[in-house]
Structure 1
Amino acid sequence: MLPHALRAASASFLMSIGLLALQGSKAFAESIPSAAGVGAAATPVSASRDLQLEVFINGTSTDLIAAFRQDADGILAIEPDQLRNVGIEPGEEAMRPDGLIDIAKLPLVSFEFDETAQIIHFTVEYDARSARVIDAHERAQDDTSTADPQSSLGALVTYTLFASTGGGGIDDMWAFDGASGWFEGRVFSPFGVLASSYIANSSPDEPYGSTRLDTTWSYSNPKWLTTVRAGDVITGGLSWTRPTRLGGVQIQRNFGLRPDLVTMPLPELSGSAAVPSTVDIYVNNAQRLSEEVPTGPFQITNLPVVTGSGTARVVVRDALGRETVSETPFFASSDLLASGFWDYSAEAGFARRFYGVESGDYDGRLMASGTLRYGVTDWLTLEGHAEGGAELINGGAGAVFGLGPYGVGSFAASASSYGGQTGFQVAAGVELQLWGMHFFARTQRTFGDYNDIAAVTVDPLPPLLPDDDFHSAAPPRALDQVSVSVPLRFDPSTLNFSYTQLKTDEGEKSRILGLSLNRPFGNSASFFATAFTDLEDEDSFGAFAGVSIPLGNDIYASTGVSSDSEGTAVTADLVKSEGNEIGSVGWRLRDTEGAYTDRAVSASYRAPFARFEAGIQQHEDQFRATAQADGSVVFAGSDVFFSNRIDDAFTVVDAGVPDIDVQYENRPAGRTNRRGKLLVPDLRSYEPNRITIDPTNLPIDATVAGTREVTVPADRSGTVVKFDVEAGAQNALVTLRDEGGEFLETGAAGQVEGGASEGFVVGYEGQAFITGLGPQNRIVVDQPTRGRCAAEFGFEPREGEQVAIPDAVCRPVE
């Protein structure tokens, strides 16, 4: 296997492409500080100097301070970006050789410079105004959204255990039928994550069996937006390619490392305000932004929207409440990349075969694959894909293009050569939203002997029957898909139509037609009906219709009638949904009568350390009982924890003392154990997660540096959040007086001599909270008007009590 691994690494290295983006630094005008600055006195100009001036336009403050350069001859100049940022378009005729704008040469602009007040007043005609740019996505982010991700050293095992009993009669219901388990082990550190998963099973015919699924090491670099993997990987792909499992290496763009990054084109809105106004932006009747704007044009960029079609409404409201409303339709698609964005994936390795059946069956031929996407403009994204190895060469290119506010379209073509066989493939698709109707269509055709990695590396299973042939893994000869969703104008119902036509490489054909109807009624109830048929097989059809009614407290009742080639049956369901909170209970009752009998009852419970589910089922004459447990065992923070299943990130809160309430995003997360720790699962990787503790239950003699921390865990990793609670701390509340019996001055600052504690400040009535005390202490205090003094006092800690030292005398010192 070592030569295979070396060849895979070498091929991946040759395929990797370094993508560097250089971003020039830009200076922008800054908001005015809350406190007014001191005006500069007028001084003669003997040399050029830099000025920071508050900017007024047409008599109104922009609330911005811009940097100007004043030459020795008094000419004022400014950088183009700063001028545009305050609301004035930098004209080319005013551009100087040094790249600055001479404001005296700006067309349609005049100004007055108040040197004493450090203010510049511009009078600007409308055509000379630049649009005030408001980044809506930036407004939604906080200061910690781009914090560096963290990962501690630790490990966890996530498991799903399942067991069943049953047989051909009620007397056999408790006979052992089988047991299985799914396990995934992860070891995480700042150097990446090593994960391995497998399944194990036992049955009356086979006491023990196991199969390895995936073993992969991965490392992600948020600065490069890149993830590197080694082991079992899945090749990157496009809508017209087929991803393949490989045993090898992979380097891949991962936009998920920056949740704050917007990668798809978003609608841009613009408008104008005649007077200072408030702009409210609504997307599909939901408010997304409210911003104050000065007079003049404005532009809203990076507006947060969901994919698909919608309408953005801009409401400009002045101080008198007068409104101007405009609406703009849009269509957002994640298939398009914003202008200038790259997306790529490169892999090399050996094709995995019989995944889930065999633990380590890999084809012996080295294969490689590469995928690339680039946003040329906001409405055009180019795509490319190539793969090959062992006589296989496959490559193609395509494009995804916007169709204005109505939808997106795509087209791609590729060709292959393998062992003297050649073939071609073309694919096209369109997605539209017109008159409230959603339309999707896609077609794909192959010609000749078209092959890819999946087709040439498959090891076909022998036929199950003597008359059967080997099944080909080549791409289908034809694949057509059409779907239409139409909300009815005369009724609140929605009608959905779908059609799929598939022709395999062997010539087998399917034409599946589907139809569904959904209609809400009452407060939350709904009626639904579906039907399907295969036009190539008259025995393949089915229909189902029913109603669903919520009963409150997460309980739903539904009933329906189904019909297929086996007959007609009636089903009734009563379900209580299980929540995500600890202690949540769920259950289900189901009964089907008619063409066949199927009865079942099940219940689930979410405990702090695992989730449990059990059920009993009767299907015709077969009786069965099942039980399942899901959870995780975590080794982190020098401790062991049992938890519900953890699929992403988590943190271990180390408060230092037991029975401290912990909140995650202002929701109760639990209470620390006797070692002062708590596992908080279900964190969002690469996003800021806020953890707080409630100091109410802290011992009276405990100190804590802070009660709020923000952690940004890496992918599928864990962090440790320490609050540095110190119980039994050496601190006391000391009342300080001078020799005359007067309290020391409020605001006086002090320090314990010879100690490592932080300084303290004297509060009202001479009280100071002083930490880092010993049996005998000497403190020095600097008073604002009375000078320096020193006090000496003893200290004896008392467990569970706040030590108070009254009337410590502070005597003057030099």
Structure 2
Amino acid sequence: MSRLRPFAGERLLALCAAVLAAASGGTPALAQSDPFALPPGLTAQSVAASSGPGLSEISIDGDVRTRLVELAWRDGVLTIDAAAARAAGLPVAAASGGMIPLASLQIAKWIFDPTHQRLDVQLLRKGDGDNYIDLSRPPKRDGISAPLTALRFDYDLTGTLARGRTDAAGLVAAALVRGNVALTSGFQVATSPAPGTGKLLRLDTQLQILLPRRGLTATAGDFFSAGGQSQRALRLGGLQIASDYSLRPDLITTPLPSFTGQVAVPTGIDLINGDQRYKLGDIQPGEFTVRNVPANSGRGEVAVIVRDALGREVIQSTKFYVSRNLLARNLSEFAVNAGFVRRRYGLRGEDYGPLTGSAFYRRGISSRLTVEGTAEWTSGLVNAGARGDVVLGGLALATLEARYSRDSVGKTSGTLLNLGLESSGRRISGRIGAILPSSGYRDVASKLGDPLPPKQFVGQLNFDLGHMNQIQLSASRQERRFDPRFPAFERKSDLLNASFRTRISRSIDVFSSFGYRRGQTSAFTGFAGLSIQLGGGRNFQGSASGGTGAPLSGSSTLSKHDIEGNSVGYAFERTYGPTTRTSGSVAYRSPYGRIEGQAERVGGNFGFRANARGSLLIAGGGVFARNQTGGSYALVRTGTIAGVTVMRENRPAGVTARGGLLLVENIPAQVPISFDIDPDKLPVDALARDTRKRIIVPRGAVGLVALDVVRFIPRQIRLIGPNGQPVAPGTLIKALPSGEQTMAGFDGVVDFNAGGGDRSLAVAGEDGAQCVAEIDRAQLDAATSPDDLPRFECRAAMPGVLAQDTAGERATSGAMLAGRNRR
């Protein structure tokens, strides 16, 4: 569409008028009497010298603005009105006014199109659009949640026979789960329990609610207190609410390397990370940002390669340090714990002590600094502290923590100082640290029965020489204050240790460790071993150890682990030394659980052990036996059709059993997983109408995957209308209650699926009238000849009957029906 351009049109009109006036020899008298007279002295040369181009359209990054801008040529330079440019969104300095050169603006480029009277401008990017590259790639949260109520029993049972005595013991845990809510309880059973302990002992009971969107977990019952890195955890019975970012797999919680740079021309961008080069794409002139570059913990360097205006490659690099002690910028985590401390856990099931409470809060201030505040309380004691973890120049991580305690009962107070410095790299890593409590310092754990916090000094140095050659050197000192509750504790001890590991070949590793310990007594220790991979999952390992006051001993083991793909495992072990031990074990892992048998001979005595480990799951009307995994489950239901091959993320997951059920284990929690059907292995008498589902299963829960598969038994029938004549060819017919649609053929012949569970056929007329034919199964099965089709009469029904008959089906599987109707 053309636009009126006043200045250009005025010049053209003036030029034409001047030429005509000169040719006609007009007189001044006539000019004065002409209401459209041109200004005196107007010539073609004066018009050509006009500043132009005047009011023009402007487009910024392809977006055409509604307001025009004033343009003018000044001494061969295109200028723009500053106010109009500012209103259009161009970067104009606040102090600028009047007509300013376009070349003075900080923009990528501009082009003036005189044909269309338009100014096209491309702005410099500011780390947005194509110039913003995020490599975290969080998974799509596009799955549906269809939780089932499930009851799960985990068991680990062991029976022993030794010296003519038979014993049995085990751990049993029960969990009632639905979606993000779980009620669990664990028990210990033993035929010969410890003195004062019953044969059945309760361990932990808790009700837990997961809040995935907020990354929170709420717990009522027994739990470990959550706190800062220097807070000692306690077993409590009470209430807890805490951050749990394992519920948010899409969230990057640790600061990862990021990079910001500038380019003057459009260019491609490549990334160099860990001696590998990756192409990231193309960027536009201006600022660019690359975020969340995958990196291992420790120090490193990342670089990007771009091209300058002359086409030369330019490398821009930055150093970084990655640590799990840091939180991503503006990310916070916290925990609040309140309850009664558990005492003599594993010996008593109902022994709860004093009330206590604790809390902590951490926040990532930047990618290089994380701060933390903690506090804890019990009757007579208050303890609080602050901590900071900061990256030093991309080379190391420094930790500084200070704590203060006040014991109102003992009338004492004290402080604790925690200092640390670590630097981890590909070749050399090191760490030093010190924990310095004062004589009056107490924490809740020591107040409620644990030893006093000791003074500690640690140092460690690691060398990675490549080709699996590693050396580790470490030294530590521990100094304890005298505690009358633990008079036998060693007051002071020093420990030095050196270890070495090397790979001789692809299948042979050699490792050794030597140490010196000085305390109330001094001793040297040494250990050396050899590991050989024999292929097929088999491994041989031999080792020898000795030291001051300890005789030389050794062992040799030949083993094969029972893992996925290897259902049978075994181990044969021989120990040499003051006591000789010979043992052998065989394990079998099936899809339903794991069993193991072991026999051993120690000092002339024989012993035998049997173990069974697995899980029983009741969900969706079925009972399933499985291996213990600790993960989530998906119950796939293919109607009632057995023998259907189910695919998980395009890989076989199993075949549905009787009743059309298949329980799939090891489902990653809170991660969308796709299930579908292998069409090439579908049973011949089955019809798949809705074959793909994408679900999200909460942690430890069971999710339903309902794939619409029905039995397919085709039958031809003849449908008679209310007028006594076969329904007309092409009439649309709907089977109820499935909602499947079909079309009548000649002579009212209709294809009907006798295995799909439908009970009637409905027909809607052009005038809105409806008729319904009830399908008599006995009459349908009685048909013996293709020429003798069973006849069913379609009786008139009130309008709306069709919608009412299918309402229940739509309520349970509306999305499925919609998909069928579209097809």
TM-score, normalised with respect to structure 2: 0.73
Q: List runs of 5+ in structure 2 lacking aligned partners.
A: 6-56, 72-84, 97-101, 483-489, 719-729, 745-749, 767-772, 790-823
Distance 2:342 2:463 in 1: 43
> What residue identity is the alignment partner of 1:161?
L
Aligned to 1:696: 680
Compute the displacement of 1:345 (Å).
0.3
Aligned partners of 1:288 and 1:304 also within 8 Å: no
Q: Which moved more, 1:261-270 or 1:612-621?
A: 612-621
Alignment counterpart, residue 720 of structure 1, candidates 704, 709, 723: 704
Deviation readout 1:55-101 (Å, 9 max, x if unpaired): 997xxxxxxxx7665248899xxxxxxx9xxxx997474899xxxxx
CA contact (8 A) 2:126 2:288 kept: no
Q: Does 1:645 align with 2:645?
A: no
Q: Which residue identity does 1:199 align to in structure 2?
A: Q
CA contact (8 A) 1:733 1:804 kept: no
Q: Secondary structure at the match of 2:670?
A: coil
- The 3-state SS of whatever aligns with 1:725 is strand
Displacement of 1:674:
0.8
Question: What is the CA–CA distance in structure 1 between the aligned matches of 2:114 and 2:602, rounded to whole Å?
Answer: 90
Extract unaligned runs of 5+ from structure 1. 1-40, 46-52, 58-65, 76-82, 97-102, 168-174, 459-471, 735-748, 763-767, 782-791, 807-814
Cα distance in 1 between the residues matched to 2:293 and 2:735: 57
- Identify the residue that residue 183 of structure 1 maps to in structure 2: 172
DSSP-derived class of the 2:506 partner: coil
Q: Which residue of 2 aligns with 1:475?
A: 453
* Closer/same/farther in 2, CA of residues 435 and 614 from structure 1, 3 Å limit: closer
Partner of 1:578: 562
- Counting matched residue pairs gives 679
Secondary structure (helix, strand or coil) at the match of 1:152 reads strand
Matched, 1:161 2:151: no
**Cα distance, 1:752 vs structure 2:** 2.6
> Residues 572 and 708 of structure 1: is their aligned pair in 2 closer, same or farther, counting only changes over 3 Å?
same
CA positional deviation for 1:585:
1.8
How far off is 1:410 after superposition?
0.7
> What does residue range 187-226 of structure 1 map to in structure 2 within 5 Å?
187-190=176-179, 192-203=181-192, 209-226=199-216
**Which residue pairs with 1:306 in the alignment?**
296
User: In 1, Cα distance between the equivalents of 2:788 and 2:318?
Assistant: 70
243-252 or 500-509, larger mean C-alpha shift:
500-509
Match of 1:752 in 2: 733
Corresponding position of 2:242: 252
Q: How much does 1:394 deviate?
A: 0.9
Tell me which of 560, 583, 586 is aligned to 1:600.
583
Deviation at 1:561, TM superposition (A): 2.0
Distance in structure 1 (CA, Å) of the matches to 2:329 and 2:386: 18
1:753-792 alignment to 2 at 5 Å? Answer: 757=739
Alignment of 1:15-30 (within 5 A): none
Contact 2:329-2:364 within 8 A present in 1 as well? yes
Structure 1 Cα separation of the partners of residues 421 and 554 of structure 2: 39
SS in 1 for 2:438: strand
Partners of 1:368 and 1:634 in 2: CA distance: 36
Q: Corresponding residue for 2:443?
A: 452
User: Structure 1 residue 636 and structure 2 residue 627: aligned?
Assistant: no
In 2, distance between residues paired with 1:511 and 1:568?
Answer: 24
RMSD (Å) for aligned C-alpha atoms: 4.5
The yes-or-no answer on 1:402 pairing with 2:383 is no
User: Any residues of structure 2 matched to 1:213-612 within 5 Å, and which?
Assistant: 213-271=203-261, 277-285=267-275, 290-294=280-284, 297-315=287-305, 328-363=318-353, 365-418=354-407, 419=409, 420-433=411-424, 436-458=427-449, 473-476=451-454, 478-488=455-465, 493-506=469-482, 508-538=491-521, 540-564=523-547, 565-581=549-565, 584-612=567-595
C-alpha distance after superposition, 1:252-296 (max 9, x if no partner): 111111111011211012456676554443532456774344455
- Cα contact 2:144–2:696 (8 A) shared by 1: yes
SS of equivalent residue, structure 1 residue 454: helix
Partner of 1:737: none
Of 683-692 and 293-302, deviating more is 293-302
The aligned amino acid for 1:719 is G
TM (norm. structure 1) is 0.74
Q: How does 1:671-682 map to 2 (within 5 A)?
A: 671-682=655-666
How many Å apart are 1:758 and its aligned residue? 5.2
Residues in 2 aligned to 1:239 and 1:750: alpha-carbon distance in whole angstroms = 73
- The change in CA–CA distance for 1:92 and 1:74 in structure 2 (over 3 A counts) is closer
The answer (yes or no) to whether the contact 1:335–1:400 under 8 Å persists in 2 is: yes
Kept after mapping to 1: 8 A contact 2:145/2:703: no
324-333 or 492-501: which moved more?
Answer: 324-333
Q: Quick check: 1:275–1:294 contact (8 Å CA) kept in 2?
A: yes
Q: CA offset at residue 221 of structure 1? A: 1.3
Q: 1:702 to 1:288 in 2, by over 3 A?
A: farther
SS of alignment partner, residue 413 of structure 1: strand
Q: Is the 8 A contact 2:258 2:289 kept in 1?
A: yes
| Contact 2:558/2:572, CA 8 A, preserved across alignment | yes
C-alpha spacing 1:121/1:388, structure 2 compared with 1 (3 Å): same
8 Å Cα contact 1:150-1:714 kept in structure 2: no
**Equivalences for residues 88-107 of structure 1 within 5 A:** 91=91, 93=93, 107=106
Contact in 1 for aligned 2:581/2:603 (Cα 8 Å):
yes
Alpha-carbon deviation of 1:492? 5.9
SS in 1 for 2:447: helix
CA 1:558 to 1:107, structure 2 compared with 1: closer, same or farther past 3 Å? same
Counterpart AA for 1:442: G
